Every structure is written in structure tokens, then in C-alpha cells.
Amino acid sequence: MSKLKIAIQKSGRLNQDSLKILKDCGVSIDNGKDQLKAAASNFPLEVLYLRNGDIPQYLKDGVVDAAIIGENLLIEKGANIAFIEKLNFSKCKVSLAIPKGEEYSDLSYFQGKKIATSYPNTVRQFLEKNNIEANLHIINGSVEIAPNIGLADGICDIVSSGSTLFKNNLKEVQVILESQAVLAVSPKINSDQKAILDKLQFRIKSVLKGRQSRYVLLNAPNEKLEKIIDILPGMRSPTVLPLAEEGWSSVHSVLDKNQFWDIIDELKNNGAEGILVCPIEKMVV
């Protein structure tokens, strides 16, 4: 029986979130400590735990059929490798930073300067696009120390919270790209593996939609029902059921979690009572 081979980061920030989304998709992975390969017991899937920087090459060569990988790494090392789904976790930026005490007005600051980075292809493309000539010093590891020891005038690196820049007396001055985890596909995937990947992507979409949504139940007086229904976006339209108490109805709907509190406040102001909010594990649309 065909199996889909999917790569995830062996260790680090992407590893746990990658395993969690697979688990939330109902995929049970029998992996022990320090295993480099593990099979799912209830889905035709095999997980390969790889070094993050090696994953793009494994995709190119067709050693794995798919991967959960940072979009930033795909841009840096995975030319011509497509991704089919943004996964909404492990969000970060790839940014240029300089010492805090330096004056900065625009990108011309970097003209003729030295930039330390682990992302030479990304930086080079960005600088060429903006007609800036700079010297790149490629470092595989912590680049933040480079300006402090006189190795570079600035750096280009991943920025999440900004705390690492702060600790090294640096400031972010230009965002090159914004990144998150994505589901990438090997250009050499065959039709059998693609069919399995389609099933997995369907499950992932349902999980992601559920994470972004909240199920809302409320009671409303019938004379205010029309206004309350207008407030609720819903998937198509809210479900409305009569209550045992005459003149009242129960209204059920789904809200985007990012709009949730504003809509709840408006519902309360328009007569909604007994509002109950539930998380959604998965939402199949």
C-alpha cells in the first residue's frame, strides 16, 4: 500500500506544532525518542524527522513527498518548490537589523556595507530588487553577534519577538518577508501519494478552520431576532429554534475568533442573553 512520506523538523520550534496539527487531523504517529522515521498507525503516512536546512533538498530529490517547513526556508533554499497550504503557526519575519546607536533613514544605509546572514539568497534578491550593493558575510548560526565584534555593519535574520535583537543591542529596520509554516510538495510526487496528500490537506483545512472559529449559542426575544440575525455573520445563516418559553428563540452560529468580542458586545447591546461560546475542534466546509 502506498504511503505519503512527509518531512518535519527534527527538533526546534516547528517540531511540536507540526506534530500537533497531524494529531489534530486524527493521524496517530508511533514515534519513540530519537527516531528518525515513524509510521502512522491509522493513516498511510510516514514521518521523517530531518534537519531543517536539509528538507528543501529532500523535497527537490523526491526523497519525501511533502514537508511542513517554514516559508522563509523554502524561499531561501527551495526554488521551484510549491506549497499548497499556509498553516498559521511558527510565524516570524526575516528582517534587516543594525546597531541601536546608528542613524537609519532608508535602505541606502546598506549601500557598500557588510551584512551578516544565514539567508544569502533571500538577502541578495531583496538588495538587487532595490538596487543596493552590499557585501554578504554568510554565517551558519547566531548572526546577532556579528556587528558587536566588527564582522558586519548589520544583519539579516529571523525575528520573532525581537528579544534576541534587543539583547544584542540591535534594532530592526526593514522587514524583507513575513513567514509561517507551510505544507510544501515535492515536484516529483506521484499520483498515488498526491491522492493521500489531498486527503491530508482536507483534514488540515478543517482543523485550521476550526482553530479560527467559535460556536456561539444565545437566547433572543423574538421581537429583536431580526436585528440579532443581521449582526451574526454565520456560515450561511444562523440556526434559529423556538424555546419552550413563548416569545423567545435560541440562535446558533459560528464566529471568526478575531471578530468575536466586538460581535458579542453588539449582540448583548441588542438584547441577546445567555450567550454560550464553544471552541470548535474541526470544521468541515
DSSP 100-137: TTS---SGGGGTT-EEEES-HHHHHHHHHHTT---EEE
Side chain identity at 36, as an amino acid letter?
L
Confidence band of 284 (pLDDT split at 50, 70, 90): confident
Dihedral of the alpha carbons of 101, 103, 105, 106, in degrees to the nearest 10: -70
Domains and CATH numbers, the chain: 4-90+180-210 (3.40.190.10), 92-179 (3.40.190.10), 213-279 (3.30.70.120)
pLDDT digits (tens, 9 = 90+) for 198-216: 999 999 999 999 999 889 9
In this predicted structure, the answer to whether residue 235 has a pLDDT above a threshold of 70 is no
pLDDT value of residue 2? 87
The C-alpha angle 52, 70, 205, rounded to 5 degrees, equals: 125
Name residue 179's beta-bridge partners: 92
The whole model's pTM is what? 0.85
Measure Cα distances from 187 to 100, 134, 144, 180, 201 in Å: 43, 33, 35, 21, 17
CA distance 186 to 6: 10
Most trustworthy range by pLDDT among 6-20, 70-84, 194-208, 267-281: 194-208
Reading the block at residue 31, the C-alpha cell is 514515534
pLDDT value of residue 234? 58
Between 235 and 114, residue with greater pLDDT = 114
Residue given cell 566588527 in the structure block: 150
pLDDT value of residue 182? 97
Given a contact cutoff of 8 angstroms between Cβ atoms, the answer to whether 5 and 22 are in contact is no
> Would you tell me how many other CB atoms lie within 10 Å of the CB of residue 149?
8
